[in-house]
Amino acid sequence: MRGERALARRGLDEAVAWEHEVSGGTYGAPRIRHALTRAGVDVGVRAVAASMRRQGLTGLNTHPRPKHGGRGPVAHEDHCARQWDQGALDRVWITDFTYLRCAQGWVYLCAVRDAHSRRVLGYAMGEQQSTDLAITALDMAATTRGTFPTGVVLHADRGTQFTSQKLADYMRAARGTVSMEQAAVCWDNAMAESLWATLTTEYYYRRTFTTRDQVYTGVATWIEDFYNRRRIHTSLGGRSPIEYELHQAAWTTTA
């Protein structure tokens, strides 16, 4: 009996180590447990955590850090009140900027994400943080969806790129609504901050970039190949964003 337990524990340790390696050393016990469940291994999160401790394996903490400063005037109402996920796709899109440094200088990244599926629908990168970059990301999001969803709420912080008249005109023409944090409290756009925390902690800070082109290519690949298609989200029942959207589509079809 003792030998059987030791054999089972060794098998679990090997499976846990494999899923940890596949994630690039980023997954903690909850995501590894989801990955193992999908592979047909029935195991609890506590057993996975114990296995990780035995092997000296740790996940990465991707909880967002507060962001301060850089807030313009309130140009739009807050239509979300921190309830970004409205229970269906294309009801709320989240957008924000972050900046990444390489040897050539700064790269500014704007992303647009569906608040329900967490999928990055559109993104754009450039040398300047501008409204045009945000509009390019929105154009890509509309292309991903096949059209710009009528009535979608675009939630952003109070950066000048999002308070601009140019963005307001764009959203009005697209028959969408801009939503904006009101009190410049960091958690009012926490869903956007969570994406940046995941990107920097799991990918960007673990590499060295010499050129902007390397950043462009690397970040785009991470978003398209890993984050949207393969990264497990505990909030999505252990699915990736695209898997979740496909599951929702199949459920809607059969309902």
- pLDDT tens-digit map of 199-236: 988 899 889 999 999 999 999 999 999 999 999 888 89
Which residue in the block uniquely carries the two structure tokens 């950066």? 159
Residue 155: CB atoms within 10 Å: 27
Which residues does the chain have with pLDDT short of 50?
66, 68-70
Residues 117 and 140: their CA atoms lie apart, in Å, by 17
pLDDT at 24: 72
CA quadruple 34, 39, 40, 43: dihedral sign: negative
Which residue in the block uniquely carries the two structure tokens 């709420």? 153
pLDDT at 23: 74
Alpha carbon 72 to chain centroid, angstroms: 25
Structure tokens of 193?
């901050």
Residues 70 and 121: their CA atoms lie apart, in Å, by 25
Alpha helices in 103-158 (DSSP H): 131-145
Nearest to 227 by CA among 247, 197, 186, 189: 197
pLDDT at 170: 96
- pTM (2 decimals)? 0.72
